[in-house]
């Protein structure tokens, strides 16, 4: 019961699919897969201008403890993103440049951490991207067990090991592994459609016109008036 | 009762006055007009180093819905700033690069949004400045009516359509339209005065001396001591 | 009782020690001195890439009032960091480019402010580093007494005048004056040790191995499994 | 410009209408008038089980200052509710049992305060109801001017002097003065309708049936399944 | 992909086990099952002195929409607790006395709601217990699809349909359905042990003595001193 | 350096003075001693209608650890209040009915805890009063050292062992031990004066009159007008 496990092998989505999802951007992927999977506005990047995708290796950790992050390194594969959730809220910065060095050495593409990180200047310099809830230096001990590669949840979203993590300046989105290919198709279709919309908007056309919103507005009881009395 | 309206025509402050207010900076304008009109510390820019002013076109929107933003585009004039308030708090990112494209095509100078925005990397690249409460990608539907160019309030400040919006790295300040010229005069007088103060301070003179604070401090019961026992 | 004082002279740590602490970085100093003294995740820098240390001149101020900051300038010495605490929470931005000009003229290295600052674009351009709780422009009056160089507390940490303030992208750490030399030794020892660890991690070695965590994990009841059933 | 005023006379809604609105409850009034006017989830009662309505006398005050609350007392009439907004956020408890005594002596029915209150045990004992953002004892000075009976805004809602304030355990709702009678009619119609609905629901009938939601759900793509595979 | 479902049948834990868990209290159950499953400090009761347990019927809802709560009523069985999670944060109060009437008519024991509730005075009078994130009256529409009886997550905890929900004045704890019996045994063993401890502590015995902490403290470097110098 | 200590003996204020301070109420004591010492609006009581004062026994604890609370019990004397601060923010509820039983057995009057408490229903029934930041059940371990009876700080206020803690429905105020008698005198003088003010206000007299605020308002530029144009 409640056993703590480190799961060595997980299924991952097709690498090419993951990589193409990484080029798209979180907002489009999120829309395309039905507006689910966003980890929330409080999980922010420590860097600007980075856009990645990777397969989730998940960690469920005690707050203020990083032993399970250490334990997770050897089950990571090149192209993975480490996702760390906690059993209670915490501002501890139990992840810094040393752990990033270790993860980079194993090909990990980035970190999503529902607590704090430190050494942020170094992490930016090293080019190891991080999305976290806090920047903080209160360190971590290595004394309480947890799990690696079990389902976790952050910001109301359930993340299964092997799910695809997309992250950029807007935040983090999770694509369920089995939906990755479908989500990619949806996203690419959406992007194609948006290109046409963008061209019209650049030309000064109005969304109320080509989306047909004007009738809808009037039907909903919105009145056009010249001036407010 | 409670009718939803889209008001096509609004009064705006003189363009030259607006432009000069835009060069001054929010802190000085705010001080100059009597320390009112600041939308609060939670409305932050997504970019750094941008300073603008423009005439407010206001939107009162349902949270998680952007139909009224679409409706607002055609009443915007070059030099305007779109200001979007909501009937309930929301983290939704119902504004992204497409709406920005549309607003730029109509000469809008920026967005003040009391919810979330997305596509922030694109917005920065496009040079469309935004001040918002959140960065988030949870998108918006187009199904609930609202109003365009009615009085709204954000952060305890009432914003009338046509008021002047000043925004920079410190946040957003609203100058009532009828006060714009007066506020500009006050601001310029203040800046002129500050230049003299700055020169003195750079030379090492003390504010306690030239503001005459030393006597005031003693009168208020503050004691100068050499060491704390 | 409850007298307000401005203390002119304080003990400071050795300048060379302070300067060397400034090169180390807050996370390492914090770890080295036993994981105490971090002012918390809400005190953030307005700039990126700056790392300083200095001796604390402390101010205890009424919220929304900056008379005591003015009063503090003349007791500052080159190499100091001004630390401003308040008797109640506040978002007021009672510190801007003028006060920064004055402090720079007296050799002050930076500001730690438990409220708001304004003129942030100017402060970045001037190169005057600030760590604060808010960015805001609601200004300050000069009408309520407070104290300079008394013990204050921010984020649950007590700061005595003359304590060493270390600050960088990760936040702010306080080193008690009498511990400065010891903290420096501990920090340097820690850095030396970390260099070795980093080399191993870069080579792909695993922390679970060289920290000996594998046995500890199993002893704590963590099970290694190949797949999750 | 930005002149501070104390407005002695304001229009009020019909007393009988106000009193009947006070019996209805905020949730129903809010729904009935089109889901606008709620001051937000952070403005909470210090007592339980009290339901009031009254005409708004508004105060716009400097944070941590209560001189304008004192100034407002004499313009209050029996049946009014005092509504205090601030030019900046504050936790100050500038309202306690003495001001409540004064307001009660003038027939004021309660306080809506966008900052802190103190003496809460006394206020509950006196039977003076309060809705506030904080409970706190940091007192107030009497030194900065403000206004009485000007439009103010709290929680994104604009409140005009004379508007009807409804408040109960769920929070505070504002009914525009000119809409009071209409809002009352809508509310009473709604209550009548809800009584029928309640009887059906008590009898075990399903909302999905009598609201006709089942078809709508299926049309929106929701699938009924016996078990989740 | 991302299909919305209403699952009619779920497995539940043994009723007697659920009822006995309901008598124990959340803190003890949480400890007993290994300190997992607490939904966090922000999910608070609207009433005082109520302690319940029940089987989770889960709802995943769009914010500000309660159509799926209506849809969930008919799949509830006597003894259930309705658990509502949202795809984005919300303060909307989409649950009030009508829905409570409906749930009570179907034997539901209470509500756990990760947004707002209204009609709290009525709910307390009706004796329908609620744990929620907010009290608020901003109502809900019935226009966006969601799911009933799918896994959801609140406060970082994953809740499967049929899991046991324990809730009291301290908050809400989830016991995985398959662990219910084991968790009950652990809880009862814990309570028995605590009774002995309580007797000792009442008699004035010290935890440092009978837990053997004194040696541990000294070993960890804690020094006993008579006075602080 | 940074040694952890348990200090057995501390100076306390005169018992009669402490008891009389306990009868006065936090708001009056706070005002009387110059508006300092309030621990902030986030430290709230779990019970209603309790007013206490006692001598502070202080604990500085690791978050999520309660070994130092256990260690503190034996240094408490009848009439003390236990004050627990943490080295990092935490929602952990490491204090419940067992520790309360132990403290009651040693005559401790209450707890001030800058984290979470649990078993709140039991604590209310036992009559052991608590002021805390959170209510939560995430328990505590006993593995990290801390200190007893060292200076700590909560909410920006420094608390020395032996200081007088006053707490009631409005929150918690600290009176420095050496100022206790003076603070009592000030408080009693204030209460006497307030009694006269209260009588006048009950009789309908206006504060603007007997405080002489009317002239001050006009002098500050406030204008009395009959109606707002």
- Where do runs of H (alpha helix) occur along B77-225? 97-105, 120-126, 180-202, 207-210, 213-219
Percent of chain F residues topping a pLDDT of 70: 99
Domain extent listing, chain C: 15-185
Q: Report d(CA F116, CA F92) in Å as an integer.
A: 5
Percent of chain B residues topping a pLDDT of 90: 93
Which sign, positive or negative, has the C-alpha torsion A183, A185, A186, A192? Answer: positive
Q: What is the pLDDT of residues C76-99, one digit of tens each?
A: 999 999 999 999 999 998 899 999
Neighbours of C (≥3 Cβ pairs closer than 8 A)? A, B, D, F
Confidence tier at A139 by pLDDT (50, 70, 90): confident
3+ Cβ–Cβ pairs closer than 8 Å linking D and A: no
> CB–CB of B2 and D34 under 8 A?
yes
The stretch B61-89 carries a mean pLDDT of: 96
Decide: F22 and F165 in contact? Cβ < 8 Å.
Answer: no
H/E stretch holding A53 reads strand A52-61
The stretch F56-84 carries a mean pLDDT of: 97
Give the D window 16-55 contacts with B, CB below 8 Å: 33-36, 38, 40
pLDDT attached to residue D1: 67
> CB–CB of F225 and D7 under 8 A?
yes
Query: How many other C-beta atoms can be found within 10 angstroms of the C-beta atom of residue A68?
Result: 26
Q: What is the pLDDT of residues E123-175, one digit of tens each?
A: 999 999 999 999 999 988 898 999 999 999 999 999 999 999 999 999 999 99
pLDDT attached to residue B141: 86
Contacts of E158 in chain A (CB under 8 A): 151-153, 158
> CB–CB of E194 and F98 under 8 A?
yes
Does the pLDDT at position E51 exceed 90? Answer: yes
E149 in contact with chain D, both atoms CB, cutoff 8 A:
yes
Confidence tier at B27 by pLDDT (50, 70, 90): very high
Contacts of E30 in chain F (CB under 8 A): 137-139
Confidence tier at F1 by pLDDT (50, 70, 90): low
Search chain C and give the residue with CA nearest F155: C156
Min Cα–Cα distance to chain C from A70, Å: 6
3+ Cβ–Cβ pairs closer than 8 Å linking E and B: yes
The stretch A70-81 carries a mean pLDDT of: 98
pLDDT attached to residue F108: 98
Min Cα–Cα distance to chain C from B6, Å: 33
pLDDT attached to residue C1: 66
Q: What is the pLDDT of residues A5-55, one digit of tens each?
A: 999 999 999 999 999 999 999 999 999 999 999 999 999 999 999 999 999
Min Cα–Cα distance to chain A from B56, Å: 15
* Beta strand residue intervals within B26-104, DSSP E: 44-45, 52-61, 80-86
Give the contacts of A146 (CB within 8 A, at least 6 positions apart).
A4, A59, A60, A61, A62, A65, A67, A68, A87, C222
In eight-state DSSP terms, residue E75 is G
* A7: helix, strand or coil: strand
pLDDT in 10s for each residue of chain D, 229 residues: 678 999 999 999 999 999 999 999 999 999 999 999 999 999 999 999 999 999 999 999 999 999 999 999 999 999 999 999 999 999 998 899 999 999 999 999 999 999 999 999 999 999 999 999 999 999 888 989 999 999 999 999 999 999 999 999 999 999 999 999 999 999 999 999 999 999 999 999 999 999 999 999 999 999 999 998 6
The stretch A143-160 carries a mean pLDDT of: 96
> CB–CB of D1 and B179 under 8 A?
yes
> CB–CB of B135 and A194 under 8 A?
no
Q: What is the mean pLDDT of chain B?
A: 96
**Measured in whole angstroms, how far is the alpha carbon of residue F171 from the centre of its chain?**
6
Min Cα–Cα distance to chain C from F156, Å: 5
C146 in contact with chain D, both atoms CB, cutoff 8 A:
no
Contacts of B206 in chain C (CB under 8 A): 70, 73-74, 102
H/E stretch holding F103 reads helix F97-105
Burial (0-12, 13-18, 19+ Cβ within 10 Å), F18: buried
The stretch F42-53 carries a mean pLDDT of: 98
Residue B143 vs residue C127, higher pLDDT? C127
The stretch B116-128 carries a mean pLDDT of: 97
> CB–CB of C143 and D143 under 8 A?
yes
Give the F window 83-102 contacts with E, CB below 8 Å: 91, 93, 96-99, 101-102
Q: What is the pLDDT of residues A188-202, one digit of tens each?
A: 999 999 999 999 999
Search chain F and give the residue with CA nearest C3: F34
C138 in contact with chain D, both atoms CB, cutoff 8 A:
yes
Contacts of D141 in chain B (CB under 8 A): none
Q: Report d(CA E44, CA E40) in Å as an integer.
A: 9
Does the pLDDT at position E58 exceed 70? Answer: yes
* B116: helix, strand or coil: strand
Does the pLDDT at position C45 exceed 90? Answer: yes
> CB–CB of C6 and B222 under 8 A?
yes
pLDDT attached to residue F139: 84
pLDDT attached to residue D139: 84
Percent of chain E residues topping a pLDDT of 70: 99
Does the pLDDT at position F66 exceed 90? Answer: yes
pLDDT attached to residue A53: 98
Query: How many other C-beta atoms can be found within 10 angstroms of the C-beta atom of residue E185?
Result: 12
Search chain B and give the residue with CA nearest A50: B121
Contacts of D92 in chain C (CB under 8 A): 88
pLDDT attached to residue C141: 86
Min Cα–Cα distance to chain D from B199, Å: 30
**Across the interface, which of E2, E40, E86 has its CB nearest the CB of A33?**
E2
The stretch B53-62 carries a mean pLDDT of: 97
**Across the interface, which of A25, A207, A226 has its CB nearest the CB of B73?**
A207
Contacts of B142 in chain A (CB under 8 A): 211, 213, 216
Least confident of B32-41, B64-73, D135-144, E189-198: D135-144
**b/e sequence C99-135, b meaning 16+ C-beta within 10 Å:** bbbbbbbbebbbbbbbbbbbbbbbbbeeebbbbbbbb
> CB–CB of D135 and F171 under 8 A?
yes
C136 in contact with chain B, both atoms CB, cutoff 8 A:
yes
**Across the interface, which of D2, D88, D158 has its CB nearest the CB of B158?**
D158
> CB–CB of E74 and D206 under 8 A?
yes
Decide: A48 and A169 in contact? Cβ < 8 Å.
Answer: yes
F216 in contact with chain C, both atoms CB, cutoff 8 A:
no
- CATH class of residue range C15-185: alpha beta
Percent of chain F residues topping a pLDDT of 90: 93
Q: What is the pLDDT of residues C164-201, one digit of tens each?
A: 999 999 999 999 999 999 999 999 999 999 999 999 99
Does the pLDDT at position B1 exceed 70? Answer: no
Give which of D47, D49, D55 is closest to D161, Cα–Cα.
Answer: D55
């Amino acid at each position: 019961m409640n056993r703590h496990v480190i799961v060595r092998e997980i299924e991952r989505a097709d690498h090419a699919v993951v990589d193409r999802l990484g080029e798209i951007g979180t907002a489009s992927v999120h829309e395309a897969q039905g507006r689910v999977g966003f980890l929330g506005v409080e999980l922010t990047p420590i860097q600007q201008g980075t856009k990645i995708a990777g397969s989730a290796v998940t960690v469920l950790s005690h707050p203020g403890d990083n032993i399970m992050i250490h334990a997770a390194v050897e089950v990571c594969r090149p192209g993975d993103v480490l996702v760390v959730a906690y059993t209670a809220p915490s501002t501890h910065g139990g992840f810094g440049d040393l752990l990033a060095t270790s993860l980079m050495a194993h090909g990990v593409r980035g970190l999503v951490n529902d607590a704090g990180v430190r050494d942020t200047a170094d992490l930016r310099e090293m080019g190891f991207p991080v999305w976290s809830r806090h920047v903080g230096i209160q360190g971590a001990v290595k004394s309480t067990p947890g799990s690696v590669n079990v389902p976790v949840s952050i910001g109301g979203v359930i993340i299964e090991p092997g799910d695809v993590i997309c992250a950029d300046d807007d935040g983090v989105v999770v694509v369920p592994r089995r939906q990755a290919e479908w989500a990619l198709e949806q996203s690419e279709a959406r992007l194609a459609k948006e290109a046409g919309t963008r061209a019209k908007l650049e030309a000064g056309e109005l969304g109320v016109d080509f989306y047909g919103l004007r009738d809808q507005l009037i039907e909903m009881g919105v009145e056009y008036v010249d001036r407010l009395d």
